[in-house]
């Protein structure tokens, strides 16, 4: 009696999925957009003075960032195809979508809330970052994020979640808002020239 022997091969197929990585990228420092000359940290004290002054529109103030911000959205995709010999091929594609905001890049206020403000560095829907001034950053306006770990945090930018890191410092918490401050000194003089008195004029 003859027996037919079939070899059954069970292959586990993984559906195409997208996963967000959590490892910060290595940033290569570049030339800053503007000089850091005359740039000072934007503090709560300065903010309060602007609010008290009726002559200043805070929306007209030019802001800058102290350090480079690197936004990284890591995507991993598993793609499946059939080869020329009928074999099943699985290809893993890794893509890093990276946005760099260099140190001293200028930005403007989008909106203000009780703890901080949204700053825009480029045009586009929801392309803003939040800088806060609260108990964790009592003096300065520092970059806000979620799920902090090893100096990095997740931020929302253009309706997408990115892993944010500091490109030229150890931790993202060091990134803060700056403004250009120019100090002028005004001196006013009141001069009274004395003509003198003659002996017979008397004293009035």
**Per-residue pLDDT tens over the stretch 173-196:** 999 999 987 655 566 778 888 877
Among 49-53, 107-111, 170-174, 176-180, where is mean pLDDT lowest?
A: 49-53
Separation of alpha carbons 108 and 96, rounded Å: 28
**Per-residue pLDDT tens over the stretch 124-169:** 999 999 999 988 777 899 999 999 999 999 999 999 999 999 999 9
Contact 123, 52 (CB under 8 A): no
Percent of the chain with pLDDT over 90: 43
Q: What are the residue ranges spanned by the domains of the chain?
A: 37-69+99-180
């Amino acid at each position: 009696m003859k027996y037919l022997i079939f070899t059954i091969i069970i292959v586990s197929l993984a559906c195409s999925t997208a996963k967000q990585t959590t490892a910060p990228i290595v940033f290569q420092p570049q030339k800053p957009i503007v000089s850091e000359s005359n740039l000072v940290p934007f503090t709560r004290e300065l903010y309060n003075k602007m609010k008290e002054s009726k002559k200043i529109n805070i929306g007209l103030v030019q802001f800058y960032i102290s350090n480079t911000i690197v936004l990284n959205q890591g995507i991993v995709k598993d793609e499946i195809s059939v080869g020329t010999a009928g074999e099943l091929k699985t290809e893993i594609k890794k893509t890093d979508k990276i946005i760099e905001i260099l140190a001293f890049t200028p930005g403007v206020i989008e909106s203000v809330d009780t703890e901080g403000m949204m700053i825009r560095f480029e045009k586009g829907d929801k392309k803003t970052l939040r800088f806060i001034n609260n108990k964790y950053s009592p003096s300065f306006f520092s970059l806000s994020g979620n799920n902090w770990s090893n100096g990095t945090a997740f931020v929302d930018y253009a309706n997408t979640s990115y892993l944010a890191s500091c490109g030229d410092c150890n931790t993202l918490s060091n990134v803060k808002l700056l403004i250009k401050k120019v100090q002028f000194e005004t001196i006013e003089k009141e001069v009274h020239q004395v003509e003198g008195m003659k002996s017979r004029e008397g004293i009035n």
